[in-house]
A and B are shown apart, each in its own frame.
Chain A
Amino acid sequence: MNFAVPANLEAQLDELVTHYPQKRSASLMLLHALQEHFGYISRDAVEWTARKLGLQPISVYELVTFYPMFRQEPLGKTHIKVCRTLSCALAGSGELRTHFCQKLGLDAHKHAAQTTPDGKFTVEFVECLADCGNAPVVLLNEDLLPKVTPAQADEIVAKGNSK
């Protein structure tokens, strides 16, 4: 098995588990940490988490399939989440997402997350990001960008391409 959690990360996760009277509660926090480290939640990561928390793998796997933020395959290095919900839609987030897709050669008609073949970008529509006063907003990896224009979108693409 190639799956190995580095010792320092495992120590952090062990500490997280102590935050809860019942180990199972740490599931989401462990999955977040593993996804951050490995880029996605593999089958091995599910089984590792289940062993760590004394659970059946299905009890962890059902979280991966329920919570939209968890991924079962690697994502692009630049992850572009465009808000789809009403206030952003009124401010043109649909057109903004189409712009990203066209720029990156992705299918704008596909709703689900799409990753470019070179693995540089993932573009995704997500539901309300809770910054509606700054619509349209984009969550770029961990940074929330307000009032994103097509020109800014082009910059994001240029920057992601040079990575």
Chain B
Amino acid sequence: MPQEHRLILKHADQPGYTPDMECYLRHGGYDALKKVLALAPRDLPDGKKMSPQEQIREDVKASGLRGRGGAGFSAGIKWSLVDRKSGKPIYLICNADESEPGTFKDRQIIHKDPHQLIEGMILSCWANDVKLAYLYIRGEMPQGAKLLNKALDEARAKNFLGKNILGSGYDLEIYVHRGAGAYICGEETGLIESLEGKRAYPRIKPPYFPAVLGLYMCPTIVNNVETLCHVKHIVNMGPGEYAKLGTPNNTGTRIVSLSGDVKRPGYFEIEVGKVTLGELINDPAFGGGLRDGRTLKAVIPGGSSSKILKAGETFKLNRKGPDGQMAKVDVSLLDLPYDFDSLMAAGTMSGSGAIIVLDDTRDIVATLANLAEFYAHESCGQCTPCREGALWMSKALHRMTHGEGRKADADYLLHIAQNIQGRTICAFGEAAAWPVLSFVKKFKEDFEAKGAADEAKAATTKH
């Protein structure tokens, strides 16, 4: 029986669990911080010593933790890329700009267990010699910002933050910074620009890799809310125990946000790769299936930017056979394990862990029109292919949903999308192009039929 495995959300929905300090402390809160502050340097075989901070950095790498924000990049490697020799301060920013359509997991943590996030941040800052960190939260989460400010005040009062934390000699300050409604701030270099008080225009990489030239041109770590929370559990459990959760190369748990056409939309924390897409949608422990009488049309598996998967599709996945050899095996859509690598092998991504389910009553053209309007609205406007292309796609789709489609629109949309991806400063170009490319390729007959019908109608009304 597939089931949830709650690590991050272990306490969040328990009756009586409140977001204040006293409750968090009663549940073992800030024990991980006390544990790391008591760590001694470790003797290495070559006679050198490994600092406690370096030990935690190694532990995060060994845990296999991958970023929960969207890209799924190794958190330990991200930390290891930080320029520690520049002599400049190192900054850490928590990306709490949760705004990928379909995603509502960080909200749960911020609202129900803010101290877990703050402890994860303090641990991560300590491990990376960070003295000043920011919590960049979406402007549309005013209550979340208030809760976090209150929690930070409580942490300062207990000396988990501030000068000489718990007598360790370590100083750290964390401040809440509010965004103001721009999706592009979720992109880490856009976020940094925004934190510097500018328009959130993403920076070009190279040279502006945050690990080297981030906030104020200093080395900077940007991690997602959920990712930072995992650091606390890696410290508590040890990397070996942590890595037993989930599957190889896809360790730990992650919170899946499920919405759209299911009976029981909601958030579910699972061991990564231990539950399939089909179970998430259909099992009573998760989505509970589609509404009665409906059948599955498609699944957007990892936030609105991920490529759509069509009901009935099968994919070639590497699987270990009985003889221990890796072999390509056919796996159907609903049997896809929900993890980073399987979804990548299926030509899409698990992204921010947000699944949007579409049933057979949905008009696929209208669905794409909705998403295209989002990307047209949210393009920052810096790169021409994205600024213009996202708008053209949205306008074409608006036409198609208002009775003025053309048969050639399907190819027109593909043409625009292909000329956006790979031609922009940041990955927003791909995020805007991928839904269009995948929707139109996989449902081309729907797009062409709509266009042909509108053309036929226009021809008869003209005469």
Contact = CB atoms under 8 A, between A and B. Distances in A.
Among A85, A132, A143, the most chain B Cβ lie within 10 Å of the Cβ of: A132
A131 interface: yes
Interface stretch (B71-79, B135-143, B206-214): B135-143
B371 interface: yes
Contacts of B178: 28-29, 32
Contacts of B139: 28, 32, 67, 69
B266 A133 contact: yes
Interface in B129-149: 132, 138-143
Contact of A132 (B140, B197, B259): B259
Given A19-B175, A28-B180, A90 B107 contact: no
Contact of A21 (B102, B132, B260, B300): B132
Contacts of B373: 84
Given A29-B178, A127-B378, A135 B196 contact: no
Contact of A62 (B100, B199, B265, B358): B199
B197 A87 contact: no
Contacts of A70: 180
**Chain B contact residues (Cβ within 8 angstroms of A): what range?**
35 or more
A126 to B, nearest CB: 7
Given A53-B197, A66-B200, A90-B362, A85 B304 contact: yes
A40 to B, nearest CB: 13
B138 A25 contact: no
A144 interface: yes
A89 interface: yes
B253 interface: no
Contacts of A24: 196-198
B194 interface: yes
A115 to B, nearest CB: 18
Nearest to A67: B180
A70 B140 CA distance: 11
B257 A86 contact: no
B266 to A, nearest CB: 5
Contacts of B180: 28, 31-32, 63, 67-70
A69 B216 contact: no
Among A31, A53, A142, the most chain B Cβ lie within 10 Å of the Cβ of: A142
Nearest to B359: A90
Contacts of A87: 101-102, 259-260, 265, 356
A148 interface: no
Contact of B374 (A19, A25, A53, A85): A85
Nearest to B102: A132
B261 interface: yes
A130 B104 contact: yes
Interface string B196-230: 11111000000000000000100000000000000
B434 interface: no
A19 B182 CA distance: 22
A22 to B, nearest CB: 6
Contacts of A62: 199
A108 interface: no
B104 A131 contact: yes
Contacts of B370: 84-86, 89
B108 to A, nearest CB: 10
B101 A126 contact: no
Nearest to B138: A130
A129 B199 contact: no
B358 to A, nearest CB: 8
B196 A90 contact: no
A101 interface: no
A57 to B, nearest CB: 14
Interface in B238-297: 257-261, 265-267
A62 B193 CA distance: 13
Nearest to A64: B180
A63 B197 contact: yes
A26 interface: yes
9 contacts: A24-B197, A26-B197, A68-B181, A84-B373, A87-B265, A127-B99, A128-B102, A133-B259, A134-B265
Nearest first, the 4 A-B pairs at minimum CB distance are A67-B180, A27-B197, A24-B197, A132-B259
